[in-house]
């Protein structure tokens, strides 16, 4: 049941079976200025219908993904016949996180897309829970998931247009760095002024140690220098880095900021209150929640009580919250133990892209399950969201968060 009385079945009937696979309809260049969120191939497509489309690609014996074809044999299933709905994805069991580390990237990508590798954009994780994992997106998937999705919400929220941006965060192999310039461009800005952060090196340093303090000081010094010499009105950074930066900024520079975009690490409720009320009171604040492997859930509406409500761009990305009463280890049985709306549990992500399929991934976070509001539905968002995600209790010692 969706919020405000709308059910998934009602939505499916309302939309009808109007999904047309890639190659059978005209394509809009998603890097063009006229492209919009609604141009996404999956926009407005019923979830079960999109699942069937994705399964038909990744499990095609000729053009599919070697990883999933091998998994199909191992499970003794016929995925294209056995998986007809989102709920059927449980047949595949929990996604093996280690598989994303030990297998070569091409093993996960459908062979049909490996014929034109120039259309793929790579991203690596920061190594929060171990060795980095790597994934790929088709260019149009990447643009919608990390750039246009932000712009779509930012316009609704009155985020500054045409202002100078400052990007303080990682570049190199990290997807957030690859998106930073395009995100600024999408809001009418030139490339952001930026500094480079190596999150993997930061995670090797002991917080509070001399090495850690010197590295963070180096980052802050570079950032303050840009703020002194340039007219910056928008800052895009991680909450831990932003709080350190704000402490060193003078009042005039902080009052000049009209837009803040948080990424990399989930912002806490008390942090958000301080950012909004004390540090950057003249800014529109927009937070994102997600990661390199899946994409971005957006805070689509300003929070009233500093609750942070995030929604995914479905149906290519689905987020669920499962019970932790039987522990937090990934388990097929737990996939069906969805908590009620308003209850807290462990976050499970599903990525349903043509380039990469990651179903049933148990995350390190816990959150409260929320339904799509009427406002969310007016934006074309019909999947569940999550409220106030944070590191799952008991996993703190295994996750190296740092500043990213």
pLDDT digit of tens for each residue in the chain (404 aa)? 334 333 333 333 333 334 555 444 334 444 545 568 988 999 999 999 999 999 999 999 999 999 999 999 999 999 999 999 999 999 999 999 999 999 999 999 999 999 999 999 998 886 656 678 899 999 999 999 999 999 999 999 999 999 999 998 877 777 888 899 999 999 999 999 998 878 778 778 888 888 888 888 899 999 999 999 999 999 999 888 899 999 999 999 999 999 999 987 778 889 999 999 999 999 999 999 989 999 999 999 998 889 999 999 989 999 999 999 999 999 999 999 999 999 999 999 999 999 999 999 999 999 999 999 999 999 999 999 999 999 998 655 444 445 54
Instruction: Give pLDDT, residue 26.
Output: 39
DSSP strand pairing (234-237 vs 344-352): unpaired
Distances (CA, A) of 266 to 82, 97, 318, 344: 37, 21, 18, 16
Residue 70 contacts by C-beta under 8 Å, 6 or more apart in sequence? none
Alpha-carbon span 119 to 140, nearest angstrom: 9
Alpha-carbon span 310 to 44, nearest angstrom: 19
What does the domain layout of the chain look like in residue ranges?
Answer: 32-306
CATH class of 32-306: alpha beta
Residue pair 104/136 in contact (Cβ under 8 Å)? The answer is: no
Alpha-carbon span 171 to 64, nearest angstrom: 31
Alpha-carbon span 67 to 344, nearest angstrom: 33
Helix (H) or strand (E) holding 296: strand 295-298
Residue pair 275/299 in contact (Cβ under 8 Å)? The answer is: no
Report CA 243 to chain centroid distance, whole Å.
Answer: 22
Q: Which residue is it, tokens 């009620």?
A: 340
DSSP strand pairing (284-291 vs 295-298): antiparallel
DSSP strand pairing (165-170 vs 385-391): unpaired
Among 315, 312, 357, 365, CA closest to 95? 357
pTM, entire model = 0.88
Among 37, 43, 42, 66, CA closest to 54? 42
Distances (CA, A) of 184 to 83, 88, 161, 224, 297: 40, 39, 9, 20, 18
Alpha-carbon span 144 to 142, nearest angstrom: 6
């Amino acid at each position: 049941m969706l919020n405000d009385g709308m059910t998934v079945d009602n939505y499916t009937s309302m939309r009808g079976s109007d999904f047309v696979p890639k190659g059978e309809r005209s394509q809009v260049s998603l890097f063009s200025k006229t492209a919009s969120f609604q141009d996404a191939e999956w926009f407005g497509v019923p979830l079960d219908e999109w699942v069937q489309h994705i399964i038909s690609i990744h499990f095609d014996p000729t053009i599919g993904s070697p990883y999933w074809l091998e998994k199909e044999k191992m499970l003794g299933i016929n995925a294209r016949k056995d998986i007809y709905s989102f709920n059927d994805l449980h047949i595949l069991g929990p996604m093996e996180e280690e598989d994303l580390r030990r297998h070569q990237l091409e093993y996960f990508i459908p062979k049909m897309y490996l014929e034109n590798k120039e259309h793929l954009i790579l991203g690596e994780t920061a190594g929060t829970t171990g060795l980095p994992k790597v994934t790929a997106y088709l260019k149009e998937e990447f643009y919608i998931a990390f750039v246009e999705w932000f712009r779509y919400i930012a316009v609704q929220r009155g985020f500054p247009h045409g202002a100078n941006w400052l990007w303080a965060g990682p570049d190199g192999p990290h997807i957030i760095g690859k998106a930073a310039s395009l995100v600024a461009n999408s809001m009418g800005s030139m490339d952001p002024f930026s500094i480079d952060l190596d999150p993997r090196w930061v995670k090797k340093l002991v917080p509070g140690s001399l090495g850690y303090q010197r590295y963070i000081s180096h980052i802050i010094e570079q950032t303050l220098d840009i703020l002194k010499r340039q007219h910056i009105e928008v800052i895009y950074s991680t909450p831990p880095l932003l709080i350190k930066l704000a402490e060193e900024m003078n009042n005039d520079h902080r009052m000049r900021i009209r837009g803040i975009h948080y990424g990399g690490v989930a912002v806490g409720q008390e942090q958000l209150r301080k950012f909004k009320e004390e540090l950057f009171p003249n800014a529109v604040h927009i937070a994102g929640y997600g990661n390199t492997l899946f994409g971005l859930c957006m805070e689509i509406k300003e929070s009233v009580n500093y609750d942070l409500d995030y929604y995914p761009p479905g149906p290519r990305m689905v987020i669920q919250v499962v019970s932790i009463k039987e522990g937090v280890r990934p388990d097929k049985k737990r996939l069906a133990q969805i908590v009620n709306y308003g209850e807290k549990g462990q976050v499970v992500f599903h990525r349903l892209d043509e380039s990469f399929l990651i179903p049933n991934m148990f995350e390190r976070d816990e959150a409260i399950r929320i339904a799509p509001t009427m406002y969310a539905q007016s934006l074309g968002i019909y999947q569940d969201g999550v409220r106030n995600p944070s590191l799952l209790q008991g996993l703190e010692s295994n996750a190296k968060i740092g500043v990213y």
